[in-house]
Structure formats: C-alpha cells, structure tokens
Amino acid sequence: MDHSIQDWISERVDRELARPTRIHPLPELGKYKVFIKREDELSSGISGSKLRKYASLLPFLRERSAQEVALIGGPNSNNLLGLAQALREIGVRAWFFVREPGDRQLRGNSLLLDMLADPSSFKRIERSQWENVLDKARDFVEERKRAGRRIFLVPEGAAMFESLAGSLTLAQDVLRNERESGIRFRNLFVDSGTGMSAMGLILGLAALDPPSSRRRVYITLIAGDEGRFAETMEDYQRRLVQEIDSPRPKLPQIAFLEPPIAPAFGSVNESLFAATREVARTEGLLMDPVYSVKHYMSMRETVSMLPANEASLFIYNGSSLGLAGFQDRLVGQRMQAK
C-alpha cells in the first residue's frame, strides 16, 4: 500500500516544483522544541503551499493541452498571484474572475497581480454578485469551449482533486525531514484556507506512515469552518482510496485552532501588526500577517501547554511578499510602540 501511494504521487507530480524544504528550530520557541518547516523557501514569488498544489495541477493542465484557464479569487489572493506567474511560464492564458476590492487602491497582491496580468483578462465581479461567481465562471468556460478553446476552471485556492498529489508531497517531505534529523514530530501545526494543504499533510501522513494515527495535527482556521473541512477531506480521502485501491488508513488526531488575533479571514488590526513586528524581531522571520502571523500566534498559545518532551513542527506556508500591502500600517505600528 505504501508503495502504491508513492507511485500515485510520483506519476502526477513535477518534482522540480515540489522540492525538498528544510526545517530548523525556532529561535524563540525552541525552548518548547518547536521546529519550523520553511515552505516559504520554495519560491520567492509564490507562497509555498500553492507551489505544491501546482506541482500536480500544472502537469495535469499540460497533459490535457490546456490553452486557457478561468480562475476565481479575491483581490488579494495568493493563489491568483501564484497562478498568474506559473501559467504564464507554461503558455496558458489565464482569465481572472476577481472580487471587486473594498479598497480601490492598488497595493500588495492586488498591485502585483495588476503588474502580471493583461487588463483584458480581468472579469471583475461586484461584491453583491460574488455568490454567483462560480456560475458566471462556468458559463464563461462553456462559451469558450463552444468557440473551440481548450479551457479549464480552477476554483478558489486551486482546491481541486488535481492539486491533491502535489499537496501530499508535504507529508512526504516532512517524513524525509524526520528521517534525516532523527526527530519525530508528535505535533504538527498547519494553517488552512480551503484546507487542501492541511488535508495533503493529514492524508499523506496517514497513508505513508501509519503510526501517524498517534500524532496530532493542529489546524489554524484562517478561513472556512470545521464542518466544511471534515466534509471536503472525507470526499478527497474517498477518491484517493479508490484510486490507489487500498484500505482506508487511520488518520492522525485533529484539533482546530482559531487565530487569537483578528480571526475573521482577511481582517487585520493593530495587535496583528504588533505581532508581525514581534515575530520579525524574536524569530528573525518576515512573515505575512494575514496567514502566517495569525498561524504563529495560535501555535504559540498551544505549544506552551504541551508536554515538554514532545517535538512540534510549525509549517510556514507563507511568503514575505504578503507584507507588501501593509507597509504604512507597519510604520504606524512603530510610532505607536515608541
């Protein structure tokens, strides 16, 4: 069984994209035996968890000779930004179904996306129409198909079964880190938007390392909720077990964490910027506030309560690029602190 899931992943994944990443102790939280996995180092312009998804999504699109892709996302989406780069590289035209921003000023990801994409490729969706975005994108895809184009729809966060093989490489690489370091991580901390990356970790550990049923995976819910997460993971697990024709492995224990600061998705406040500065100074890490600093703060609350002999791994999926939209706020925070 172990062998066939390895093969299933290998047949679908471009290993040049899903490369190994290192781990090291966190300078400040090392006292709690917390290590960090540097998924941010996978790419300078694409957040790490996204590149793992693309490691199987892009080969899928290439194999189907895709000419165009319709993408859905918010104005600051890391996924739109990542795919704008990755699809250009393989010569696939992207259409962006983007939610109209609350703040019209271009900054951070919305500015970077504006630099990457042709203005004619944007399909701007009013906030009041956002609930219909999937229907609109589907209609558009059908229209392009009738015009003879080979076009695919990629939902928000590239959360689709074709991204799962890539996401499973996170579990493979954690197991490699463990083999090479001789450390076994009892607790793993991962952040979740659509949940795809966290599911790749959980399903991968379960299938590749059965004693993982004794591990705990802590999921910081940056977006979404527990019910949705459980439902989606059940669906992916069923399809995966069918495809590799193996018994269903026992999963690690799962606990959900709510960020202690600005828990609503996309929201920011002064405490979050203060925490962003604190993480920079104490850990030497320039983390994106919206995912990674919230994730770090929920992990920090939790590790101080864990048994002292247990090692923990913090998965840093983000990218320092996520700081770009908040420069004024971070300057403001400095004034306040002094």
Q: Which residues bind ligand PLP (CB under 6 A)?
A: 47, 49-50, 78-79, 157, 159, 191-198, 288, 291-292, 317-318
Task: Name the minimum Å distance from CB 74 to ligand PLP.
Answer: 11
Task: Name the minimum Å distance from CB 54 to ligand PLP.
Answer: 12
Task: Please give the DSSP secondary-structure letter assigned to residue 248.
Answer: P
Query: What region does 329 belong to: left with phi over 0, alpha with psi -120 to 50, or beta?
Result: alpha
Both structure tokens of 155? 């939902």
Task: Name the minimum Å distance from CB 200 to ligand PLP.
Answer: 8
Q: Looking at beta carbons only, is 33 or 290 nearer to ligand PLP?
A: 290
Q: Looking at beta carbons only, is 156 or 209 nearer to ligand PLP?
A: 156
CB atoms within 10 A of CB 128: 8
Q: Looking at beta carbons only, is 130 or 265 nearer to ligand PLP?
A: 265
Three-state SS at 72:
strand
CB atoms within 10 A of CB 263: 14
Helix (H) or strand (E) holding 272: helix 270-283
Q: Looking at beta carbons only, is 59 or 318 nearer to ligand PLP?
A: 318
Q: How far is 55 from 20, CA to CA, in rounded Å?
A: 13
Q: How far is 60 from 41, CA to CA, in rounded Å?
A: 24
First CA to last CA across the chain, in angstroms? Answer: 58
Q: How far is 255 from 251, CA to CA, in rounded Å?
A: 12
The residue whose Cβ lies closest to ligand PLP is 193
Task: Name the minimum Å distance from CB 173 to ligand PLP.
Answer: 16
Task: Name the minimum Å distance from CB 14 to ligand PLP.
Answer: 18
CA 43, 45, 48, 49 torsion: positive or negative? Answer: negative
Q: How far is 112 from 329, CA to CA, in rounded Å?
A: 19
Q: Looking at beta carbons only, is 77 or 302 nearer to ligand PLP?
A: 77
Three-state SS at 309:
coil
Both structure tokens of 234? 């059940």
Q: Looking at beta carbons only, is 33 or 312 nearer to ligand PLP?
A: 312
Task: Name the minimum Å distance from CB 77 to ligand PLP.
Answer: 8
Q: How far is 168 from 164, CA to CA, in rounded Å?
A: 6
Q: How far is 215 from 220, CA to CA, in rounded Å?
A: 16
Q: Looking at beta carbons only, is 68 or 288 nearer to ligand PLP?
A: 288
Task: Name the minimum Å distance from CB 256 to ligand PLP.
Answer: 13
Q: Looking at beta carbons only, is 161 or 184 nearer to ligand PLP?
A: 161
Closest CA to 233 of 224, 178, 260: 224
Q: Looking at beta carbons only, is 18 or 33 nearer to ligand PLP?
A: 18
Task: Name the minimum Å distance from CB 293 to ligand PLP.
Answer: 10
Task: Name the minimum Å distance from CB 40 to ligand PLP.
Answer: 8
Closest CA to 17 of 233, 188, 173: 173
